[in-house]
Amino acid sequence: MYTLKRTQTCGALRASDAGRTVILNGWVEARRDFGGVLFIDLRDRYGKTQVVFRPEVDAALAELAQSLRFEFVVAVRGVVKARPAEAVKKGMETGEIELEATGLEILNESKAPPFEVTDEAAASDEMRLKYRYLDLRRRPMQRNMVTRHRVLAAFRESMDAQGFLDLDTPILIKNTPGGARNFLVPSRLWPHQFFALAESPQIFKQLFQVAGMDRYFQVCKCYRDEDLRADRQPEFTQFDLEMSFVDEGDVQAAVEQAVSHVFQKVLGVTLPTPFPRMTYAEAMDRYGSDKPDIRFALHLVDVTDLARASAFRVFSEAVATGGIVKGLCVPGGGTMSRKEIDELTTWVKGVGAKGLVWLKGEGGTLGGGSAKNFSAEELAALRSRLGANDGDLLLFVADERGRCKVALGGLRTMLGQKLKLVKEGSWEPFWVVEFPMFEAGPEGRPQAKHHVFTSPMPDDVALLETEPLKVRARAYDLVLNGVELGGGSIRIHRKDLQRRVLAVIGLQEGDIRDKFGFMLDAFDYGAPPHGGIALGVDRFVMLLLGLDSIRDVIPFPKTQKGQCLMQSAPGGVIPKQLDELHIALKPAPEDGRAG
């Protein structure tokens, strides 16, 4: 119990409140002591208000206020006063007033915080994660969390308006190898048996369709035990939806409506719909990426034909061994230093490419770098093919097809950011469509690129057994500003086609029965045509806020090694727990990371 319960929040008071007696509760954000008069900035989720203590108003109170320190939690009663004209703080919502204190209750003291709880993130990621509750107290993080809430609220609003049902699915499910590595949960009641944490609600949402729950959606947690990235966490959140009696266009339209609604509600931005479509083949050829940032026009240009006959062996040999040569013309990139170009080369080699060939537009032809390896005619042809001007930088990668695209596509993205080619504040969502059904696995055997329930395009079904790698899928990814927001597909709803697809990836009848038996059984009982999609909530919020790490929009994220620095999770368990689970531990690996 405490006596001075707040009557207002710290962001509420304005000049029109002058003369009122109110009570504020909050944290001490700043303290300015003039010996006589003492100022305190009081903060809560809603804002910040200056409190002033004066000895002439209450000497004992002013003395008590001297003991206040950063992050003390206090309750202050006082009279709202208009500030003297010269003391008005511009740019502060409550800057026209201050609270002249007549009562103070220290609700809790605080140790000196390990870092300052200020708007500027002056602390390292490590400190922020260890003391996450203090990091979250900072205004920018509070803003991020509020935005996250508003995005979720707007999404649910749109889904409800479109007639979707919010239904949940189990987190503890059966382990099915393939796809992302699962987190495993041992079963106490069934010794030697394990649950897996759901990596997505995929199977269940399809079974909802079999069950007639047309138009399902959910905001759900997903778990994948894979390596982390700036935009990947082992535990993340998806907008998940699935619909019956639909084709690609219906799912995309539903998503466009929901995404547009979120943009309108959260940013006040109107997105033109429908979103443009681009085929996977075009994305890879022109951008070297299946999630290109199309906000800047920097395209990969194929010069394989020119390279084939070149005297420059780096080019001709790459082509002779079945590779390709592609180039990128960076407008104005000629000013980049040798050192900067070397950094690009280092990166390219890091992704497995052999190297980077570079030239600069100068004197009406091309010079610098590898120019001496080409004839004048070749330089002219390259310059013309890439549309280069004097002052431009030309970058080429000659390599195996996939590596070439990945290397140049990566360079394109890096240069777009480095040279600020991107129009800030622009939003260009689009769909990448016609993904390949399969990709070559380790031993050349086709693997599902999306997942095994994805339907092939009708025109390509005949190729399933003969040229599986040429079969295109009825799959689609939603891409926004170079980020893959999510992907989905029209599913296979007929058992005969499903069996053919499973056979292509080499699953034996026994395996099929073991892994997907219940799914196929369900399809025996009238599965409707259906399809859906899942979008990454964390990435979505990150994009809306213009941030570049997913960690800043997840309240309690893990480090890149998958640890929670605040809890020190994961951690060990006591022998009794292991006994109950009938689990014996093998010796820990040498790196000493065992709990």
Partner RNA sequence: GGGGGCGUAGCUCAAUUGGUUAGAGCAUCGGAUUGUCGAUCCGAAGGUUGCGGGUUCGACCCCCGUCGCCCUCGCCA
Q: Does 123 bind RNA (CB under 7 A)?
A: yes
Q: What Å distances lie between residue 216 and 241, 441, 533, CA to CA?
A: 5, 33, 11
State the nearest-atom distance from the C-beta of 373 to RNA, in Å: 26
Please list, residue by residue across 408-426, b when 16 or more beta carbons sit within 10 angstroms of its beta carbon and e when fewer do. bbbbbbebbeebebeeeee
Kindly tell me which of 348 and 393 has the beta carbon lying closer to RNA: 348
Q: Helix 537-544 crosses helix 248-267 at what angle (to 10 degrees)?
A: 40
Contact 374, 312 (CB under 8 A): yes
Cβ-Cβ contacts under 8 Å for 155 (sequence gap 6 or more): 219, 239, 258, 261, 262
Q: Which of 21, 124, 321, 426 binds RNA (CB under 7 A)?
A: 124
Q: Identify which range of 269-277, 319-327, 445-453, 519-527 contacts RNA by CB under 7 A.
A: 445-453
DSSP states of 507-545: --HHHHHHHHHHHHHHHTTTPPPEEEEEEEHHHHHHHHT
Kindly tell me which of 383 and 539 has the beta carbon lying closer to RNA: 539
State the nearest-atom distance from the C-beta of 62 to RNA, in Å: 9
Q: Does 202 bind RNA (CB under 7 A)?
A: yes
User: Could you give the strand order of the β-sheet that contains 184-186, starting from the edge strand earlier in sequence?
Assistant: 172-174, 194-197, 184-186
Distance CA 63, CA 373 (A): 81
Q: Which of 6, 83, 174, 221 binds RNA (CB under 7 A)?
A: 83
Q: Which helix (H) or strand (E) holds 31?
A: strand 21-33
Q: Does 506 bind RNA (CB under 7 A)?
A: no
Kindly tell me which of 369 and 410 has the beta carbon lying closer to RNA: 410
Q: Which of 122, 153, 462, 585 binds RNA (CB under 7 A)?
A: 122
Contact 470, 460 (CB under 8 A): yes
Q: Identify which range of 141-149, 347-355, 377-385, 494-502 contacts RNA by CB under 7 A.
A: 347-355
Q: Does 180 bind RNA (CB under 7 A)?
A: yes
Q: Does 452 bind RNA (CB under 7 A)?
A: yes
State the nearest-atom distance from the C-beta of 33 to RNA, in Å: 4
DSSP β-ladder status, 165-166 and 216-223: parallel
Residues in contact with RNA, shown as a per-residue x/- string from 221 to 250 under the rule CB under 7 A: ---x-xxxxxxx------------------
Q: Which of 6, 20, 54, 385 binds RNA (CB under 7 A)?
A: 54
Kindly tell me which of 114 and 276 has the beta carbon lying closer to RNA: 114
Q: Identify which range of 174-182, 254-262, 266-274, 392-400 contacts RNA by CB under 7 A.
A: 174-182
Cβ-Cβ contacts under 8 Å for 563 (sequence gap 6 or more): 569, 570
Q: Which of 4, 88, 171, 185 binds RNA (CB under 7 A)?
A: 88
Residue 108 dihedral angles phi and psi, to the nearest 5°: -165, 145
Q: Does 352 bind RNA (CB under 7 A)?
A: yes
Q: Does 511 bind RNA (CB under 7 A)?
A: no
Q: What's the 3-state SS for 556-578? A: CCCCCCCCECCCCECCCCCHHHH
Q: Which amino acid is at 282?
A: E
User: Does the CA dihedral 394-398-404-410 come out positive or negative?
Assistant: negative
Q: What Å distances lie between residue 132 and 261, 387, 555, 579, CA to CA?
A: 31, 51, 8, 34
- Longest Cα–Cα distance in the chain: 92
Q: Which of 56, 377, 443, 524 binds RNA (CB under 7 A)?
A: 56
Q: Does 58 bind RNA (CB under 7 A)?
A: no
3-state helix, strand, coil in the chain (%, to 5): 35, 25, 40
Distance CA 386, CA 361 (A): 11
Q: Which of 55, 355, 368, 529 binds RNA (CB under 7 A)?
A: 55
Q: Does 509 bind RNA (CB under 7 A)?
A: no
Q: Does 14 bind RNA (CB under 7 A)?
A: no
Q: Which of 14, 45, 69, 338 binds RNA (CB under 7 A)?
A: 69
Q: What is the DSSP letter of 548?
A: S
Q: Does 199 bind RNA (CB under 7 A)?
A: yes
Q: Helix 495-504 crosses helix 509-523 at what angle (to 10 degrees)?
A: 150
Residues in contact with RNA, shown as a per-residue x/- string from 296 to 335 under the rule CB under 7 A: ----------------------------------------
Q: Which of 179, 186, 368, 391 binds RNA (CB under 7 A)?
A: 179
Residues in contact with RNA, shown as a per-residue x/- string from 512 to 551 under the rule CB under 7 A: -------------------------------------x-x
Query: ∠351-352-357 over CA atoms, to 5°?
Result: 90
- Footprint (CB under 7 A) of RNA, residues 457-486: none
Distance CA 492, CA 477 (A): 18
Q: Does 440 bind RNA (CB under 7 A)?
A: no
Q: Identify which range of 198-206, 334-342, 464-472, 491-499 contacts RNA by CB under 7 A.
A: 198-206
Distance CA 306, CA 110 (A): 70
Residue 376 structure tokens: 């004048």
Kindly tell me which of 42 and 258 has the beta carbon lying closer to RNA: 42
Q: Identify which range of 122-130, 186-194, 209-217, 365-373 contacts RNA by CB under 7 A.
A: 122-130
Q: Does 268 bind RNA (CB under 7 A)?
A: no
Q: Identify which range of 125-133, 187-195, 247-255, 536-544 contacts RNA by CB under 7 A.
A: 125-133
Kindly tell me which of 303 and 464 has the beta carbon lying closer to RNA: 464
Q: Does 137 bind RNA (CB under 7 A)?
A: no
Q: Nearest Cα to 291, choosing from 485, 427, 436, 472?
A: 485
Residue 146 structure tokens: 């509020």
Q: Identify which range of 54-62, 254-262, 323-331, 361-369 contacts RNA by CB under 7 A.
A: 54-62
Q: Does 39 bind RNA (CB under 7 A)?
A: yes
Q: Does 367 bind RNA (CB under 7 A)?
A: no
Binding residues with RNA: total (CB under 7 A): 74
Q: Which of 50, 144, 237, 455 binds RNA (CB under 7 A)?
A: 50
DSSP states of 278-300: EEHHHHHHHHSSSS--TTS---E
Kindly tell me which of 100 and 105 has the beta carbon lying closer to RNA: 100
Q: Does 89 bind RNA (CB under 7 A)?
A: yes
State the nearest-atom distance from the C-beta of 567 to RNA, in Å: 12
